[in-house]
Structure 1
Amino acid sequence: MSVNIAAIQSAVQEAGAFVRPLFQELGKVIVGQTYLTERLVMGLLANGHVLLEGVPGLAKTLAVKTLAQCLQVKFSRLQFTPDMLPADVIGTQIYNPHTGTFSTRKGPIFAHLVLADEINRAPAKVQSALLEAMQERQVTIGDQSFRLEEPFLVLATQNPIEQEGTYPLPEAQVDRFMMKLRIGYPSRAEERQILDLMARTSGLPQVRPVVEPEQILRAREVLNDIYVDDKVKDYIVDVVCATRNPEEYKIPVREYIQLGASPRATISLTLAAKAHAFLRGRGYVTPQDVKTVGMDVLRHRVMITYEAEAEEKTPETIIQKIFDELPVP
């Protein structure tokens, strides 16, 4: 097995040669926010959509735009509003009176990186228009289905402060996001750096493209080969099952959980852990990889009860309790 892991390790380091230049370019524009930029790249590698939550002004949109500029891919930005229609996202059929036929006009969803800005401002019918694209990587307009080009990634932002004109995302859509990131404020030193870098009316930092789409697709193939030991696989399954039946693992949080994580969480947790190992140049996954990405993968998949809310408990505190008490292999 050691020979195989050595070969995988070599393939990971070769396929991941673009990682350092990519983070260097992102660092020209995004100060601090290592957690944010790293998770965005992990989503890209693991072929998983990412939901970013944070108050306005924390560079969520800027980070996604900068990532697209570094990748030499087609980028599309959708500003979600309450009066939006599904056709504004996926496209529509237009009737030509001269020929008596319909032609298809593709919407902004036909891009490699799609930024869904303030996704919780659009009504349910617009949210549902994204479901097929996010899961099946295809879009149906009229009676025709169109495949979306790879790599395809939806990166959505939302404001955690409930305001007028926001809609809660449907559970089916939330579950399609591999990770949900909570973005916090920068430190004082980082804030000072941001001032030096950004407090000007023009001449803002520019990035150059350093990664081609083929390199991302190649990295995804290598990611599939990253070794996950049976004990680590069992640990991943135990973590997810503990969100559904914590009493089986003697973790006293049963009365706080309304709904546990779905099997999609198991898949996402494995892929995210592999992506975390890939970024560190490793050809194998450790339990620490699972613990590091676990909160991002699970926080939006565990629904809490009224009792939990009354006791001011959050999905994060319950998930942390599970990670703290579950034996690590």
Structure 2
Amino acid sequence: MTHSGQAETRHDRKDAPTTDRDRVAIIGAGHVGATAAYALMLRALVREIVLIDSDPAVAEAEAADLSDANALARPGKIWAGTYADAASARIAVLTAGAASHGAESRLTLAGRSADIVSTCVARLVEAGFAGILLVAANPVDLMTLVALRRSGFSAARVIGTGTLLDTSRLKQTLAEYFKIAPGAIEGLVLGEHGDSEVAAFSTVRIGGLTLEQFCKGGPEIDRIDVERDVREAGYEIVMGKGYTSFGVATAIVRICESILRDERTVLPVSTLLTGQYDITDVCLSLPCVLGGGGVERILTPKLEPEEAAALAASGATLKAAIAATLADYATT
């Protein structure tokens, strides 16, 4: 596998399933699921959004509240449904999982979340779901692997939200420091969406300049502080309000948009690695080309040696977590 920055062919487009492109199903009507549904509604990406929850009353209440808002937005249908309704959806977004508490590591949720994710995926498959499965349950990299193994789908069709939100946090942090717009900054956070994630500063570009070039003649940023701020941002939000919702919901919608519109945009999402950076049999985030078929290519940007070592360590951390808590879930 090349590490030179060339793109690697990963999946071809003939794997794209035939479904109703105007329907998205959201499994789990909690904070993240309901907020994602609201964001999808405002973007008018689909005409139908179905909410599914283990507590039907919650799904019905959220759907009713969203429908009230939809009457003042764009025409569409939002309702509480069943897995049979999800069967024909273009994308099924899986937000159901165990909730974290305070500074609890995402990896500590693995066993609790795996039970939920495995059950939800089994019911989706039983209903005949033929679309793309987007996993947002934490720990997202491990739950993406559980969903992949339990579904039997190709790796192209099972995607985790991964480090897309962390990458957004990196851009926001740098933007605040340099007093420029976040959209003017390119850069990636790779690996686990969690404590072993890697802020790849070598990938940062501002107006075509590397970070070193942009900072020339000015104050240097403290990379350790920036990486810590990005890594701990989610924990701080949970400590303050008990959960996260807006950031991850927006990441969900951005991924859905790329798939639904067949954009083939490049986003850092969690997918199965098959030798990239010598990492195999684990899901973690690298920049991926996302289109109508899901993950169509995985890119391997050239990293600094210490970044590549940190990415390998991130993969090892996830493999250890799989062996410790997910042996019954993450195997075929």
TM-score, scaled to structure 2? 0.28
Question: Radius of gyration: which is bigger?
Answer: 1
Bigger proportion of residues as strand: 2
